[in-house]
Amino acid sequence: MTTPLHEDDDQTAAEYVLGTLPLEDRTAAARRIGQDPAFAAAVRAWEDRFAALNDDYAEAPAPDLLPAIEARLFPAPPPKPRRFGWLGWLSGAASAAALVVLVSLALPIGQPALVTEIVAANAAFQYEARFDGTRLVVRRSEGAAAPAAEVHELWIIAPDQAPVSLGLLGDAPLEIDYPIPPEGWVLAISLEPAGGSPTGAPTGPVLATAEIRS
Partner 1 sequence: MNDPVADLLQRCAAGDRSALRELYRATSAKLMGVLLRILGERSEAEDALQEVYTRVWLRAHRFDEARGRGMTWLISVARNHAIDRLRQRPDTAPDSYDDTLHAAVASAEGRIVARSEVARLNHCLDTLEPARATALRGAYLEGLSYSELSERHAIPLNTLRSWLRRGLSRLRECMDQ
Specify the stretch interacting with partner 1 by CB under 8 A; choose among 59-67, 102-110, 121-129, 182-190.
Answer: 59-67
Helix spans in the chain (H): 7-18, 23-35, 37-50, 66-73, 86-91
The nearest distance, CB 178 to partner 1, in angstroms, is 8
Specify the stretch interacting with partner 1 by CB under 8 A; choose among 51-59, 80-88, 113-121, 137-145.
Answer: 51-59
If one counts every other C-beta atom within 10 angstroms of the C-beta of residue 62, the result is 7
* Distance (Å, whole) CA 186 – CA 212: 6
Based on CB atoms, which residue is closest to partner 1, 25 or 142?
25
DSSP secondary structure letter of residue 85: T
Residue 160 found at the interface with partner 1 (CB under 8 A): no
| Contact with partner 1 (CB under 8 A) among 6, 37, 51, 101 | 51
The three-class DSSP label of residue 107 is: coil
The three-class DSSP label of residue 203 is: coil
Based on CB atoms, which residue is closest to partner 1, 22 or 147?
22
How big is the CA angle at 173 (ends 170 and 178), to the nearest 5 degrees? 115
- Which residues form the interface with partner 1 (CB under 8 A)? 7, 10-11, 14-15, 17-23, 26, 30, 44, 47-63, 65-66, 68-70, 72-74, 134, 165, 176-179, 198, 200
